[in-house]
Structure 1
């Protein structure tokens, strides 16, 4: 299977943001959120590096075959991720 990585940003207040690491399944055209990283000012290079390596490890370790995780729109994928992890 082949996936396209899509990063979506959302501001949370004046000093915080969340970055959603989303995947587009090229064959089905559906989306899922692989993970969400929360940044707070000041952002450090170590923090960015940690999130990047964590995203790669999670992608390699996680099966992307779950039917329930995939959605027709990226907005729905983010909505469901927020609902499941709130």
Structure 2
């Protein structure tokens, strides 16, 4: 499976990424080994995930989410069912 995920960083910003292993990737971000953006913004909290069968669909969705306004991302995160 391929996943798109959203993290809430310590400074209350949202980071969107792609991975095949959400748990490992969130752990990397939390340890300061993830994306450059999240390195100085730890701790991070996983607030949203979406699963896809193929990489290209997941990557397209990641791009779509990254184009959303902050308000739209907050609504997406708020609508997530855990």
Which has the higher Rg, Structure 1 or Structure 2? 1
TM-score (norm 1): 0.33
Structure whose residues are more often helix by fraction: 2
TM-score normalised to structure 2 length: 0.34
Which is bigger in relative contact order (C-alpha 8 A, separation at least 6)? 2
| Structure with greater strand share of residues | 1
